[in-house]
């Protein structure tokens, strides 16, 4: 990821998310996604997919073609499936997404290691792919779960859920953690816990109110941007502007 | 759900999960799933789908046909997507699954209400479908998250995560909660918090070590069974045996 980002001189990840489409409009979705990806690809380092595309298109029909297109443009492809099932199921999910060409999947450490995250880490290691873990999300309700105070099972000391997740991500050798751009103070705290080893991926810039400068200065390595680019009048120009902003803030 | 279960005199929900299939074997998956569903349908009240089928088959290609088949047999269809994204995305996910015919989706209350679970509850109300929330999962790692001690944000009192989830499920008028059959003592505690209003769905019988009798006696209304039936030499016989066991334990 670091290499790709350096090559492209960009730390912007496009979240290729389109609004819900009724049955009649779904036919255009793949073409729209292909066009947007082509327009924006010079200014980004990776593409993040979510169920906005996998559900209407299917992963082996439409989405796999987009993943291949991303790779041809020198971009990495991340599946934002926020896996949080039992290990056996997590393993099956990871296998299918990796089969479709994804370089990394996003998972929720809330399910715990044993029979939870472990089987995903194992298949990732085996297939030389990545696993990125959630630490703090970008929406308001995140405070209820990610922001809650927990009693650490090992130390018996009270701590914040997101700091416990960050420590686990470091211990489990995750390839990155997700922290919302809407909470730069938490990016800073988590950066401190993680050190330089594990990069922070930060969604929520633009439409959700996060700022490129604040997130980068707080320690975010990659910025995930969806609606701000997807719905822009000129998506390429918007992506390039965000890219420059992020480079300047480094 | 209650009506369907009464009509079918069964509280068994089939988890229609097949192991990961490499590219060559995927062609048979839909036929295998159709056959199994037909064989087992007299003994169950609903079918739970997970990514074992949605990823290789696609929801509008293969899975929708299975959902229609389930409905024709008088069964309900639940999508076990364990949704845990930001509200905007959760909404899109729920819309697509409901479009594919699902009667209910499973979501993770860990994302919180505002900009989290709320948009799913809204679309469910609008479309007259269901939302089932996770309270305690059936795998070992569940102890790390679902089993952790948290400080309740409102009362300031220490409580267990799964009890906080159960209280939220009741307050948010969820259509059910999921509690692993592997932890019958937690089914009992959660049953006490929920009262009779919100039914408990209990996965983990058989392959994962949970017992029908213990779960039902502790307060589980529906038993979700996957591998125990799917991999049985005679799936219909196994389903019928489990159905009878559950009826007797009531």
**DSSP labels for B115-127?**
IIIHHHHHHHHHH
Is B89's pLDDT higher than 90?
yes
Phi, psi values for residue A246, rounded to 5° = -65, -40
Q: In sequence order, what E strands does chain B have?
A: 12-15, 46-49, 76-83, 104-107, 130-136, 149-151, 158-160, 176-179, 200-203, 222-225
Chain A residues close to B60, C-beta within 8 Å: 26, 56, 58
Residue whose C-alpha is closest to residue A232's, from A206, A212, A213: A206
pLDDT grade, residue B206 (50/70/90)? confident
Put simply, whether A61 touches B (Cβ < 8 Å) is yes
Is B167's pLDDT higher than 90?
yes
Q: How many CB atoms lie within 10 A of CB A161?
A: 25
Model pLDDT, residue B209? 87
Q: What is the pLDDT of residues A22-65, one digit of tens each?
A: 998 898 999 999 999 999 999 999 999 999 999 999 999 899 99
Q: Kindly report whether the global pTM for this prediction surpasses the value 0.90.
A: yes
> Which residue in the list A32, A34, A82, A160 is annotated as catalytic?
A82
Q: What ipTM, to 2 d.p.?
A: 0.96
Average pLDDT, chain A: 96
Is B100's pLDDT higher than 90?
yes
Return the structure tokens found at B63.
């899975």
Is B68's pLDDT higher than 90?
yes
Residue whose C-alpha is closest to residue B201's, from B179, B185, B218: B179
- In total, the C-beta contacts within 8 angstroms joining chain A to chain B are 171
Is B31's pLDDT higher than 90?
yes
Catalytic residue numbers of B read 82
Nearest to B149 among A95, A144, A151 (CB): A151
Q: What is the pLDDT of residues A148-176, one digit of tens each?
A: 999 988 788 999 999 999 999 999 999 99
Is B207's pLDDT higher than 90?
no
Model pLDDT, residue B153? 80
Residues for chain A: how many in total? 250
Domain architecture of chain A: domains with CATH: 2-249 (3.20.20.70)
A93–B118: do the CB atoms touch at under 8 Å? no
Chain A residues close to B111, C-beta within 8 Å: 137, 139, 141-142, 144-145
Put simply, whether A225 touches B (Cβ < 8 Å) is no
User: What percent of chain B has a predicted confidence (pLDDT) above 70?
Assistant: 100
B150–A153: do the CB atoms touch at under 8 Å? no
pLDDT grade, residue A80 (50/70/90)? very high
pLDDT grade, residue B204 (50/70/90)? very high
Q: What is the pLDDT of residues A114-139, one digit of tens each?
A: 999 999 999 999 999 999 999 999 99
Nearest to B89 among A51, A58, A89 (CB): A51
């Amino acid at each position: 990821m670091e290499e790709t980002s350096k090559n492209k001189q960009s730390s912007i990840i496009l979240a290729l998310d389109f609004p819900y489409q009724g049955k009649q409009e779904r036919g255009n979705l793949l073409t729209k996604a292909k066009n947007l990806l082509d327009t924006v690809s010079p200014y980004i380092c990776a593409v993040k997919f979510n169920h906005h595309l996998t559900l209407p298109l299917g992963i082996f029909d439409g989405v796999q073609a987009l993943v291949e297109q991303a790779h041809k443009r020198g971009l990495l492809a991340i599946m934002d499936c926020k896996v949080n099932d039992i290990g056996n199921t997590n393993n099956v999910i990871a296998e299918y997404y990796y089969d479709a060409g994804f370089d990394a999947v996003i998972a929720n450490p809330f399910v715990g290691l044993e029979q939870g995250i472990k089987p995903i880490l194992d298949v990732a290691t085996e297939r030389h792919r990545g696993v990125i873990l959630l630490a703090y999300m970008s929406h308001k309700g995140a405070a209820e779960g990610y922001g809650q105070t927990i009693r650490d099972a090992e130390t018996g000391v009270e701590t914040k859920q997101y700091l416990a997740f960050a420590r686990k991500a470091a211990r489990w050798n995750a390839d990155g953690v997700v922290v919302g751009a809407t909470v730069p103070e938490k990016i800073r705290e988590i950066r401190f816990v993680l050190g330089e080893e594990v990069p922070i991926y930060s969604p929520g810039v633009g439409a959700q109110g996060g700022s490129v400068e604040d997130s980068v200065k707080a320690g975010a390595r990659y910025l995930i941007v969806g609606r701000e680019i997807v719905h822009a009048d000129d998506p390429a120009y918007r992506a390039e502007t965000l890219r420059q902003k992020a480079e300047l803030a480094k």
